A and B are shown apart, each in its own frame.
Chain A
Amino acid sequence: MFSWLEKNPFFFAVGVFVVIAFAGLIEIVPDFAQQSRPVVGAKPYSLLELAGRQVYIKESCNACHSQLIRPFKSETDRYGMYSLNGEYAYDRPFLWGSKRTGPDLHRVGNYRTSDWHANHMWEPTSVVPGSIMPAYKHIFKNVADLETAYAEALTVKKVFNVPYDKDMNGDGKIDVPLGSFKQAKQRALQYALKVAQETKRKDLVDMVKQGKVPEIVALIAYLNRLK
């Protein structure tokens, strides 16, 4: 019946590949699709948080800090609940990291505060005496790039259908508004002002009041969001 196939080695090889690939697909894809759904309550990043995430990537925080808590007692004692696949649903790309020179940050928003982050990023040894982390004073001066963050948010909204401007939990309210760049920037500035006031640094508050978001404020908003 299939002797014609045996006489055509190339098509036979293609046929074998298709059969094996199909078996792989039906085993892997449904589970993968299920596991990678957003967990209940997961929300996309707001504009300011996304800008902070870009600072996080730019400063290579993920070279020393992981964002993945493994299910071991020693880790959950220190960092909290182990990480789930669906928590990374809106991370593009995820920032698991591969090496912990510093501690894991996946739930750092649960146990650190804005003013702590500001103190720590300005001079790490002022709060953690033995720290080998370098100071990041320049991000207190640099202005966060809200335009690029907005472009990213708008892109994932259009291309991947990330639920910006949508009512996700059915309470009749939009959970993560994005809107036009002007609206989004206005909202990001309000949020940044709150964070800047929490850091208790006048220079940061002044910068935000002038309409410029310091990178540190965006970064803290992002870190506080990690829960």
Chain B
Amino acid sequence: MNWLSDNVNRLALLGAAAILIIVIGVVAKYFKQIKEGKSEGVLKEENWDGIGEYKNNSPIGWSLAFIGTIVWGVWYWLVGYPLNAYSQIGEYNKEVKAYQAKFESKWANPSKEDLLGMGEGVFLVQCSPCHGIDGTGIEGKAQDLTHRLLKKEVLDVIHRGSAALGNPNGQLGYPLGMMPPGLLSGADAEAVASYVAGGFKGSGKGADLFQNTCASCHGPDGRGMNGMAPNLREYDDTIVQHVLEHGKHGIIGRMPSFKGRLTPVQEKAVAVYIRSLSEGE
């Protein structure tokens, strides 16, 4: 009788025995009542074709439940439902709010490793379908994020200006506004483009022209004077944030805006991750 050592089995057996005994007892009681019982009590005055009914008071438990339900009904109608009604959207808003609060407190001061990891996660979900999982732009289908600028891209912007590429007030909403088209042309444009795309190395015609024509907005080092104009040397936080907000319309095509889809910390993280792609070159 090994199975009897188990408590649940013993309890089940005990329960079965109890049910059996109770059933036998109840059946015996009613059999006895049918055989020997006599009706008693005071009949009500009215009867239906000779069939009468005893006077019975409502049971106390039933009366309390009845009155309680009425009280609860009034409360539910006036307070319970109007003030506490469930709403799917309400629950969603609560969920988002709680998550944002947790996110902000957890990543109030993220380390560079945190940002890198977060940036990689966001990049793989939101950016990689176009820029590729390695960020190289899938053979020219999107911007190659391991380089800042290619020569043809610089030439395209010099030729068309930044307003022609999208936003009429300057494509990406930098404080210095739009870049006019055709600031340079021909061999001059070629020289500057080679200089910019080549990583601002060396001196000569390209470097001189850059200092004379481009540096007034983009800064003598091409870093955009602390966010006044686009940084031409690396993907700094500002340009990544601007592109995510405004989208981009360049020589390759149009990148949609990701406005409102990422938090400021996530945007920063994406910038950190994108910069990490071109490190070690």
The answer to whether A and B interact is: yes
CA distance A111 to B258 in the complex (A): 7
Tell me if B130 is interfacial: C-beta within 8 Å of chain A: yes
User: B interface, by DSSP: helix, strand, loop or mixed?
Assistant: helix
- Whether the pair B141, A127 counts as a contact (CB closer than 8 A) is yes
Enumerate chain A interface residues (CB-CB to B < 8 A). 71-73, 76-78, 80, 82, 110-116, 119, 126-129, 198, 200
Q: Is the CB of A73 within 8 A of B96?
A: yes
Chain B proximity of A73: nearest CB distance (Å): 5
Q: Would you call A116 and B126 a contact (CB within 8 A)?
A: no
Contact string, B95-138, partner A, CB cutoff 8 A, digits 1/0? 11001000000000000000000000000011001101100001
Distance in angstroms between the alpha carbons of A82 and B89 in the assembled complex? 9
- Are A116 and B88 within 8 A (Cβ)? no
Known pairs A71-B91, A198-B253; list 7 more (Cβ under 8 Å).
Answer: A71-B89, A71-B92, A73-B96, A80-B261, A111-B256, A115-B253, A119-B141
With A73-B96, A126-B138: A113-B255 Cβ-Cβ less than 8 Å: yes
Q: Say whether B254 faces chain A, with CB atoms less than 8 Å apart.
A: yes
Q: Interface size bucket, B side? A: 20 to 34
Task: For B132, list chain A residues within 8 Å (CB).
Answer: 127
- Complex Cα spacing A129 to B136, Å: 14
Q: In the complex, are the beta carbons of A127 and B256 less than 8 A apart?
A: no
Once the chains are docked, how many angstroms separate the CA of A22 from the CA of B258? 48
A111 adjacent to B138 (CB under 8 Å)? no
Q: Is the CB of A73 within 8 A of B99?
A: yes
A-B contact pairs, 30 of them (CB 8 A): A71-B88, A72-B92, A72-B95, A73-B92, A73-B96, A73-B99, A76-B92, A76-B96, A77-B261, A78-B125, A82-B89, A82-B92, A110-B256, A111-B126, A111-B256, A111-B258, A112-B129, A112-B130, A113-B254, A113-B255, A113-B256, A115-B141, A116-B130, A116-B141, A126-B138, A127-B130, A127-B132, A129-B133, A198-B253, A198-B254
